[in-house]
Amino acid sequence: ASPDRAPAPEQPAATGLAQLFGDQGPAPEGEDAPAATDSWGRPVAARRERRGLAVVWVVPLLVLSLLAGAAGGVVADRWSESRRPSDAALPEPVGSGVSGELEGVAAVAAAVLPSVVSIEVRGQGGQGTGSGFVLRDDGYILTNNHVVAAAADGGEVVVVLADGAQEPAEIVGRTAAYDLAVLKIDRTDLTPLVLGDSDAVVVGDPVVAIGAPLGLQGTVTTGIVSALNRPVSAGGGAEETAFINAIQTDAAINPGNSGGPLVDAAGEVIGINSAIAQRPGAGGASGSIGLGFAITSNQARHTAAELIETGSATYPVIGVLLDSRYEGEGVQVSAEAQNGTPAVTPDGPADRAGIEPGDVIVAIDGRPVTEDDELIVAIRAKAPGDAITLTVRSGDDERDVRVVLDQTTGAQ
């Protein structure tokens, strides 16, 4: 119910301009009219006649002023017409450079955009969109595994090219371990992007991210390389977790950018945008907070070649189980078998190098490691057959050991 209406407040005595020009109305019977005064305390009654004269003369003056203004406007229009130039001759834009060619980010975007695609996926696992880019001129496209995973067991993948053309695509191969996938469309006239050398990237290098965040195809954002060798876990679930030795960037990356290129100032791909950080407690996918992560181009080159040639990808291992409960310096090799799997694989790379159960690995190739993921992504950034140097501590003894990486789908 609405509240009771309050009684109307008494009207305050008029002040200011209301006193000077307001009508006080007739006085009630039996009472003398209140003595109205102006803002200086002078009786208004004494000035009432003068006010009437003022009002009478003000109106004609206003009319005269308006008429005079109109006449002046006509004269001014005629004068301005006679003085108006036939050509305003305003200066024309001349561009930012003498040659008129694009420079900086604009030049990079113009060169890269025609080779960046949007990907639409529909399958039993759901639907969604992502990004990708042309890997070869004969229709091979590189993207993230998590972009196309929903259609892996039967579904539809459509590649939308920069010119708006839509092409059905097949999944040539994919790997959850590296979160990469290669698609193929029936085109032979595409312009591929160059995969640059991600090992030459340094912190502070300028970068450009291109993709289709939230389905907005052809979006360009800029930033720098914020950090290197960031251990990032990404992917679709516990059984499809990718361990990425990532490039970190502050270029804005949002859902839908996944699979798109991160390019350097020369327009060469140095990373494949794959993940973004979320604030603790944030539910669902958040937007960019300046913490984006990309798979290195050198990793993408090796893995994409395997996917094209064989349809699957291998990754290197050293053949040990890690103890996730360990909280000391470095990462610890499990002291005992887990679920029937030995802590150190017999005759595996670590076993041949003399690593034993309970040993602690404190560095790889001179770079300290403090978390399990750091060691895993550093190893997966290599290739089977590569040699690495591990700094291993057994009790009080610390030593460097050379390990030649093997390939397997079992223990690390």
Cα→Cα distances 208→105, 156, 222, 301, 326, Å: 7, 30, 4, 19, 39
Q: Residue 364's beta-bridge partner residues?
A: 367, 390
- 172: phi > 0 → left, psi -120 to 50 → alpha, else beta; which? alpha
User: What's the CA gap between 236 and 152, in Å, rounded?
Assistant: 12
Give the CATH number of domain 198-310: 2.40.10.10
Most confident of 21-30, 36-45, 244-253, 400-409: 244-253
Q: Which two tokens stand for residue 310?
A: 């064989």
Give the active site residue among 118, 131, 146, 274. Answer: 146
Q: Name residues whose C-beta falls within 8 Å of residue 353's C-beta, 6 or more positions apart in sequence.
A: 390, 401, 402, 403
Closest alpha carbon to 203 in 249, 164, 245, 238: 249
Mean pLDDT of 194-208: 96
Q: For the chain, give the mean pLDDT.
A: 80
**pLDDT range class, residue 81, cuts 50, 70, 90:** low
The CATH 2.30.42.10 portion of the chain extends over 316-407
Phi, psi of 317 (to 5 degrees): -140, 165
Give DSSP secondary structure letters for 227-253: EEEEEEEEESSGGGEEEEEEEEE-S--
Is the Cβ–Cβ distance between 303 and 178 less than 8 Å?
yes
Is the Cβ–Cβ distance between 235 and 146 less than 8 Å?
yes
Q: Say if strands 387-394 and 360-364 run parallel, antiparallel, or are unpaired.
A: antiparallel
User: What's the CA gap between 104 and 94, in Å, rounded?
Assistant: 18
Q: Which two tokens stand for residue 321?
A: 């189980």
Q: Which two tokens stand for residue 380?
A: 């997966």
**pLDDT range class, residue 153, cuts 50, 70, 90:** confident
**pLDDT range class, residue 93, cuts 50, 70, 90:** low
Is the Cβ–Cβ distance between 399 and 386 less than 8 Å?
no
Is the Cβ–Cβ distance between 129 and 212 less than 8 Å?
yes
> Is the confidence at residue 400, as pLDDT, over 70?
yes
Report the predicted TM-score, pTM, of the whole model to 2 decimal places.
0.73
Is the Cβ–Cβ distance between 198 and 184 less than 8 Å?
no
Mean pLDDT of 145-152: 92
| 56-60, 206-210, 273-277, 295-299: least confident range | 56-60
Q: Which two tokens stand for residue 42?
A: 């002078």
Catalytic, 65? Answer no
pLDDT at position 110 = 96
| 1-10, 224-233, 280-289, 327-336: least confident range | 1-10
Q: Which two tokens stand for residue 355?
A: 């690593």
User: What's the CA gap between 61 and 67, in Å, rounded?
Assistant: 10
> Is the confidence at residue 126, as pLDDT, over 90?
no
Return the amino acid letter for 199: D
Catalytic, 146? Answer yes
Mean pLDDT of 107-128: 93
Q: Does domain 316-407 have CATH number 3.30.70.260?
A: no
Give the active site residue among 131, 179, 226, 406. Answer: 179
> Is the confidence at residue 84, as pLDDT, over 80?
no
| 88-102, 214-228, 261-275: least confident range | 88-102
Mean pLDDT of 127-148: 95
Mean pLDDT of 47-51: 42
Tell me which architecture the domain covering 105-184 has in CATH. Beta Barrel (2.40)
User: What's the CA gap between 21 and 39, in Å, rounded?
Assistant: 11
Give the active site residue among 258, 274, 288, 297. Answer: 258
Most confident of 67-76, 88-97, 195-204: 195-204
Catalytic, 179? Answer yes
Q: Say if strands 166-175 and 180-184 run parallel, antiparallel, or are unpaired.
A: antiparallel
The CATH 2.40.10.10 portion of the chain extends over 105-184, 198-310
Between the two ends of the chain, the Cα-to-Cα distance in Å is 72
**pLDDT, tens only, 6-46:** 444 444 444 333 333 333 444 444 444 444 443 344 444 44
Q: Name residues whose C-beta falls within 8 Å of residue 166's C-beta, 6 or more positions apart in sequence.
A: 158, 159, 160
**pLDDT, tens only, 309-321:** 999 999 899 999 9
pLDDT at position 60 = 47
> Is the confidence at residue 3, as pLDDT, over 50?
no
Please name the helix (run of DSSP H) or strand (run of DSSP E) that holds residue 130, with its range, or none: strand 126-134
**pLDDT range class, residue 247, cuts 50, 70, 90:** very high
pLDDT at position 142 = 97
User: What's the CA gap between 213 and 218, in Å, rounded?
Assistant: 9
Is the Cβ–Cβ distance between 174 and 235 less than 8 Å?
no
